[in-house]
Structure 1
Amino acid sequence: MTARFPTYFVSHGGGPWPWMKDQFGPAYDKLEASLVDMRRQVGERPKAVLVVTSHWEAPGFITSSSAAPGMIYDYGGFPPHTYQISYPAPGQPSLAERTAALLAASGLTSGVDPQRGFDHGTFSMLYPVYPEADMPVVQLSIRQGYDPLEHILAGRALAPLRDEGVLIIGSGLSYHNLRQFGAAGREASHAFDDWLRHAMLDLDPLERSAALLRWSEAPGARAAHPREDHLMPLMVALGAAEREPAALAYHEDDFFGSLAVSSFRFGAAAA
Structure 2
Amino acid sequence: MPERLPTYFLSHGGGPWPFMKEQYGSTYDVLEASLKDIPRQVGAKPAAVLVVSGHWEEREFTLSSGREPGMIYDYGGFPAHTYRVQYKAPGAPEVAERAAALLAAAGQAAELDPVRGFDHGTFSMLYPVYPKADVPVVQMALKHGLDPLAHLEAGRALAPLREEGVLIIGSGLSFHNLRQFGPAGRQASHAFDAWLRFALLDLPPEQRTAALLHWDQAPYARMAHPREEHLIPLLVAYGAAEHEPAARVYHEEEFFGNLAVSSYRFGEAAAP
Q: Same fold (TM over 0.5)?
A: yes
CA contact (8 A) 1:2 1:164 kept: no
Once the two structures are TM-superposed, the CA of residue 205 in structure 1 deviates from its matched residue by: 1.1
Q: 1: CA distance between counterparts of 2:155 and 2:197?
A: 20
Instruction: Give runs of aligned pairs for residues 192-203 of structure 1, distance below 5 A.
Output: 192-203=192-203
Q: 1: CA distance between counterparts of 2:66 and 2:108?
A: 22
CA contact (8 A) 1:3 1:44 kept: no
Q: 2: CA distance between counterparts of 1:95 and 1:72?
A: 21
Provide the secondary structure at the position in 2 that maps to 1:200: helix
State the AA in 1 paired with 2:268.
Answer: A
Q: 2: CA distance between counterparts of 1:134 and 1:255?
A: 30
1:67 aligns with 2:71: no
Q: 1: CA distance between counterparts of 2:99 and 2:248?
A: 27
Partner of 1:126: 126
CA contact (8 A) 2:2 2:43 kept: no
1:109 aligns with 2:109: yes
Partner of 1:10: 10
Q: 2: CA distance between counterparts of 1:2 and 1:39?
A: 12
Once the two structures are TM-superposed, the CA of residue 204 in structure 1 deviates from its matched residue by: 1.0
Once the two structures are TM-superposed, the CA of residue 163 in structure 1 deviates from its matched residue by: 0.2
Partner of 1:188: 188
TM-score by length of 1: 0.99
Instruction: Give runs of aligned pairs for residues 187-226 of structure 1, distance below 5 A.
Output: 187-226=187-226
Partner of 1:236: 236
Residue correspondences, number: 271
Q: 1: CA distance between counterparts of 2:101 and 2:2?
A: 22
| Deviations 1:22-56 (CA, angstroms, capped at 9, x unpaired) | 11111100000000001100011100000000000
TM-score by length of 2: 0.99
Once the two structures are TM-superposed, the CA of residue 2 in structure 1 deviates from its matched residue by: 6.3
Unaligned runs of 5+ in 2: none
Q: 2: CA distance between counterparts of 1:2 and 1:244?
A: 14
Q: 2: CA distance between counterparts of 1:252 and 1:152?
A: 26
CA contact (8 A) 2:12 2:125 kept: yes
State the AA in 1 paired with 2:71.
Answer: M
State the AA in 2 paired with 1:58.
Answer: E
CA contact (8 A) 1:51 1:139 kept: yes
1:149 aligns with 2:153: no
| Deviations 1:54-100 (CA, angstroms, capped at 9, x unpaired) | 00001111000000000000000000000000000000101111111
Q: 2: CA distance between counterparts of 1:230 and 1:241?
A: 19
Partner of 2:246: 246
CA contact (8 A) 2:2 2:269 kept: no
Provide the secondary structure at the position in 1 that maps to 2:27: helix
Provide the secondary structure at the position in 2 that maps to 1:26: coil
CA contact (8 A) 1:250 1:262 kept: yes
Partner of 2:266: 266
Instruction: Give runs of aligned pairs for residues 24-39 of structure 1, distance below 5 A.
Output: 24-39=24-39
Aligned identity (percent) is 70
Once the two structures are TM-superposed, the CA of residue 3 in structure 1 deviates from its matched residue by: 2.2
CA RMSD of aligned residues (A): 0.8
Partner of 2:159: 159
CA contact (8 A) 2:2 2:270 kept: no
Q: 2: CA distance between counterparts of 1:214 and 1:256?
A: 28
